[in-house]
Chains A and B, each alone.
Chain A
Amino acid sequence: MELAVTKLTKRFQDITAVDQVSCRMTAGVYGLLGVNGAGKTTLMRMLCTLLRPTGGTITWEGEDIFAMDGRYRKILGYLPQDFGYYPDFSICDYLMYVASIKGLRPVTAKKRTGQLLELVGLSGMEKKKMKKLSGGMKRRVGIAQAMLNDPKILILDEPTAGLDPNERIRFRNLISELAEERLILLSTHIVSDVAYIASEILLMRSGRICASGTTDELIAAMPERVWSMTVEKDQTEHFMKNYKTVNIKAARDGVELRLLSGQRPTPDSREEAATLEDLFLCYFGEKAGEEDA
């Protein structure tokens, strides 16, 4: 089981949305992390054969996915970022329709639909019209839809957007359960989503994968270290301008700062253990002073 991406590039007129991306994925959960406009959606659309790359190749088990055509789509499940549906269909109709275009036989489709609705916590609501669902419920139907054909490759574009904390936890557990014998690629801006479940994290920036590895590997390889210190209130601005600041908290004797720096910023600052959030800021964060640059 291997999905290999080689020098994948996608240009839209003057924008290069995905730039020479190469990576290999096997069974497991991959978290694609990046700011808005990093190119996550574009990369995923190419992996789903929705977009033809400008350059580079994508292969599944050594075979070009565009040449595989239907055979590839048979093992693919995709939840798009802006997930659309047929407003007047009930949940059941919708899932049965998607099942039919995914090539499931009606008997199998009925069974799968029941199981999946149970799994995403929507059983008993089959007859509800899609347009009457809340945002989070729609997303859950979206996840169910992607899972219908029991795909080997599951691509989820911001699956947790709009889910409440309970649902988010449920979702993480669900993904972990599903991850066996499956390749799951999910994109998000929410660091905690991937921190728990992703076996490998891909950091994407301006169309490139700028770092990848497990959480620990990435933290170990972080180019900056994390420091915390307490400073006078009027000094805060100075630090925010010159360092990537993770956190600011008012304390009794001034302001407590958590920031990133290659060297110890002040003699009395303490080095802290880095988290994934620090990592995110390290790669994607800006110093307050850079904002207009």
Chain B
Amino acid sequence: MLKFELKKVFSRPGSAIAMGILAVVIGVTCWFATDVYYVDPNGVKQRGPSAVAALREEQKAWAGELDSEKLRQVILANKEIKSSPEYQSEDENEREIAYSRGQGFKDIRDLLNHAFAAGFCDYDYYCADRLSGDMASQFYGRRVSLLKEWLEGEAKEQYTDKEKAFFISRYEKIKTPFYYDYMTGWTRLFDYAPTVVMITLLILGYLVSGIFSGEFSWKSDAVFFTSFHGRKRATAAKTGAGLCLVTGIYLVTMLIYTAIVLLYLGADGWACPIQILFSGWKSFYNISVWQEYLLILAGGYIGCLFTSFLCMWVSAKTRSAVIAVMIPFVLIFIPSFLENIPAPFVGKILGLLPDQLLQMGNVLGYFNIYSLGGTLMDAAPILLTVYAVLAVLLVPWTYRIYRHMEIG
């Protein structure tokens, strides 16, 4: 039965096209994600595997604990470049040569920009240039003090005292110094992951939207519902087909994407804390890079599962694939409309909408926290649990609709 259900899905005219689109978009995304350049000592931009190897080698030289000594070295090395004649030159090529010398520690330099910015929400690209070597020891302290400053100032009204204390304690709890390693592979992987997850979701939405409505559009409903298993096992097989599609297509897509990006750029730095990522510096989730990857993977899967099951529910309820296929679009784009409403609770709600699951990497950077029966919970575990439960609940609900379907 399951085999035939899947056959039905792929016998729809658009299914092959949808799979084609998915393949093309993944291909293009991988191309963008792996497009890393390296400026060689002559100031010439290089691309391709040798450029990746060269960049990796330069950054590997800085790998290790990010303690005051190493930070001081970065500050000084940076200073040296900035005062070099090449950097000061008007000539484009000369400046590229200057840039090439700083490639090895540019990610660490970015962290300095974060740490020594004027305020928690500020970022100043030239900030690192103004530092002196002995300021390196303030690095980790600045991270906490900027947060405190922000919580007492700009965000004063936004959080309760308990929540503020929660954030601060998370910040203080993190193990320092951070371990730094070359990690372009992961940065790129995380940057483009939401694109991959979203396109997969849209394609999945299309594929599953016909599973339940197809019987009506094909008019095969009468035979289906008068068969022995029609209202039971055959309906379950439909849900099974949906589950297979989501699991199979999502996992294969993500695996291919991950494999291509990491094999090409390297998986170094998997054990580093996410705070050394440009996007993870402010995160109050004290996890490592591989854990973030698992969260992104799990979030995307649960997001796809929930949305696809919702599609299937709508398709069973309305008997229309057209309405069902719009569900993923609605779920993805509604939040961008809501964003414009300037009420404080809107932010809280936005943080719990299913589209967040598709971009777990961003969720880790938001200061979203929820109080559940007195204990404070961060958004990520709530999102994962709530939507996993909702997805599971949709199954018997859809089943019930089909079980009691009348054909008039």
Contact = CB atoms under 8 A, between A and B. Distances in A.
A78 B227 CA distance: 9
B226 A48 contact: yes
A149 B226 CA distance: 12
B228 A102 contact: yes
Interface stretch (A81-89, A203-211, A281-289): A81-89
A50 B228 contact: no
A84 B1 contact: no
B221 interface: yes
A172 interface: no
Given A12-B408, A97-B4, A84 B226 contact: no
Contacts of B250: none
A93 interface: yes
Interface residues of A, number: 33
A228 interface: no
A86 B229 contact: no
Given A45-B408, A51-B406, A51-B407, A87 B226 contact: no
Contacts of A145: 223
A96 B1 CA distance: 9
A52 B406 contact: yes
* Majority SS at the chain A contact face: loop
B228 A73 contact: yes
Given A84-B219, A85-B218, A86-B220, A93 B227 contact: no
A266 interface: no
A85 B215 CA distance: 9
Contact of B227 (A69, A87, A89, A98): A98
A45 B8 CA distance: 25
A101 B218 contact: no
B227 A80 contact: no
A80 B406 CA distance: 14
Contacts of B218: 84-87
A70 interface: yes
Contact of A84 (B4, B220, B228): B220
Contact of A101 (B11, B214, B234, B407): B234
A69 B225 CA distance: 11
A101 B224 contact: yes
B222 A78 contact: yes
Given A12-B408, A45-B407, A45-B408, A86 B227 contact: no
B231 interface: yes
Nearest to A142: B223
9 contacts: A48-B226, A50-B226, A50-B407, A70-B228, A83-B223, A86-B214, A86-B218, A87-B218, A103-B227
Interface of A: 12, 42, 45, 48-52, 69-70, 73-74, 76, 78, 80, 82-89, 93, 96-98, 100-103, 145, 149
Closest 10 CB pairs of A and B: A84-B219, A88-B11, A80-B222, A103-B228, A84-B220, A50-B407, A101-B227, A97-B4, A101-B234, A78-B226
